[in-house]
Amino acid sequence: MKYKNTVVFDGQHVTIAEICQIAHQHATVELGQQPEFMERIDKGARFIDTLLKEEGFVYGVTTGYGDSCTVSIPLHLVEQLPKKLYTFHGCGLGNHFDVKQTRAILAVRLTSLARGYSGVRYKLLQQLEELLRNDILPMIPQEGSVGASGDLTPLSYVAAVLAGERNVFYQGEKHATATIFSLLNIKPLTLKPKEGLAIMNGTAAMTGIACLAYQRAAYLSQLSTRITSLASVALDGNAYHFDEKLFSVKPHAGQNKVAARLRSDLQLQARALRNDTRLQDRYSLRCAPHIIGVLEDFLPWLATQIENELNSANDNPIIDAEGEHVLHGGHFYGGHIAFAMDSLKIAVANLADLMDRQMAQLMDSKFNNGLPANLSGAKGEQVLLNHGFKALQIAVSAWTAEALKLTMPASVFSRSTECHNQDKVSMGTIAARDCIRILELTEQVAVAVLIASVQGVELRGNTSLSPSLQNTIKQLRQYSPFLSVDRALEKELRECLVLIQNQQLVLYA
């Protein structure tokens, strides 16, 4: 496979966009090979070895984990501890993370370990690089993490695969890791003291998912704006609800960005200001910039929080090889990601609700300003037999309701675990998983309302559309033709959903 870009992991800043490029196989990975970087990584592992020889005591190296930290491990048993750690955490259930999510998780863990504060060898980073470069993906169950001490159970599957155990997804099929390692001449890694803990004791699963969620949400913000433009045309709406002077008096930057996109789509700047015969459209049109704008304004803050977590050393203890300190703390706590994902859930679900209301207007002949009921394109006697998008509106309502139901914050459901050692946990991974599900449902709503809006525009017969709206209609019609008589829509809905999920529909520059 030819990759467009290369992302280098050498302890420097990695972006959300780069993690997403790796996840979508738009970029390959390369581990830094500068001698000073390699030395900085290995120095941490050597410091652990020195401590073992000189003091014989390091948390998670010569002790049990969590509440078991008071249990001392004899030096002749220390080498077995990393294997024991990933073994007893092999209890995840639920669906496995998909291939994009798994690549993101691996890339995020590599980013954190490359910071050089985890006491692992450069050789371990090379093994992670090997997995990513060969697309050998650990099969990681989604369920079983409370978000502190990080993503222990999900990441135990990464640790086990590095050691040649458990199962991987390779070239579209499930295989035993040992089989693929043998095929590709990859030597299983025997984890050294601290390395099992360093891989597992962090926020890579929730942060990897958060990177993907961010990218999907940013695209949905633009897509819901384009759908609003189409719905406004279809409903013969008042475009002057998005007037530049109007929005200048409420200066939220994101909200104004959405209004500017709507003005461009509706060619408002080219029309003389006038009083529309219908002064005020319903809120799902008139207030669309205010609703979408909340997400648009939230995205920069969200990016900062995710990238801070992404580029942090977030295991425990932190190994300061330069200062020769072992620093015990709680950087595995995923509170920032939990809050970010819980907040993003609400902003995205509001997009689903907005588009659901736009769909309701389009369908109902009492409110759609002269369009046929249910947007049916049938003629003559066929009008009596055809129901247009009636069933699709029911489906949109179902998807929206499910999205709204999932907006309950996960982070407020902290549970005391592990003999009350982990007595306040983040629930960050559950929040991230909820967010992905809400994004999936909202994308389904968006596809349905996009098809309906385009149908409405064509039924309205508007021939003076902006180039941007014409282009969207042209792209959509390659997958979903005009609905003149009823047909099953599932196939084209699924095809259009892939178009949206791959962000192939051209929107705003």
> Phi/psi of residue 122, each to 5°?
-55, -35
Which residue bears the tokens 């007595």? 423
Bridge partners, residue 318, by sequence:
327
Which residue bears the tokens 């002064």? 279
DSSP collapsed to 3 states, 430-461: HHHHHHHHHHHHHHHHHHHHHHHHHHHHHHHC
| Cβ-contact 21, 27 below 8 angstroms | yes
Per annotation, catalytic residue among 59, 214, 219, 333: 59
| Angstrom distance (rounded) from CA 52 to CA 74 | 11
Q: In what helix (H) or strand (E) does residue 162 lie, and over which residues does it extend?
A: helix 152-162
Question: Which of 506, 345, 503 is CA-nearest to residue 439?
Answer: 345
Q: At 236, list the tokens.
A: 């013969």
| Cβ-contact 262, 247 below 8 angstroms | no
| Angstrom distance (rounded) from CA 412 to CA 414 | 6
DSSP collapsed to 3 states, 94-131: EEECCHHHHHHHHHHHHHHHCCCCCCCCHHHHHHHHHH
Q: In what helix (H) or strand (E) does residue 327 lie, and over which residues does it extend?
A: strand 325-327
The Cβ-side half-sphere exposure at 104, using a 13 Å CA radius, reads 28
In the residue annotation, 122 being an active-site residue is answered as no
| Angstrom distance (rounded) from CA 320 to CA 336 | 24
| Angstrom distance (rounded) from CA 479 to CA 496 | 7
Which residue bears the tokens 């991987």? 168
- Asked whether the bond before 484 is cis by omega within 30 degrees of 0, the reply is no
Which region, left, alpha or beta, applies to residue 469 given φ > 0 means left and ψ of -120 to 50 means alpha? alpha
| Angstrom distance (rounded) from CA 411 to CA 146 | 9
Question: Which of 250, 283, 458 is CA-nearest to residue 371?
Answer: 458
Positions marked catalytic: 59
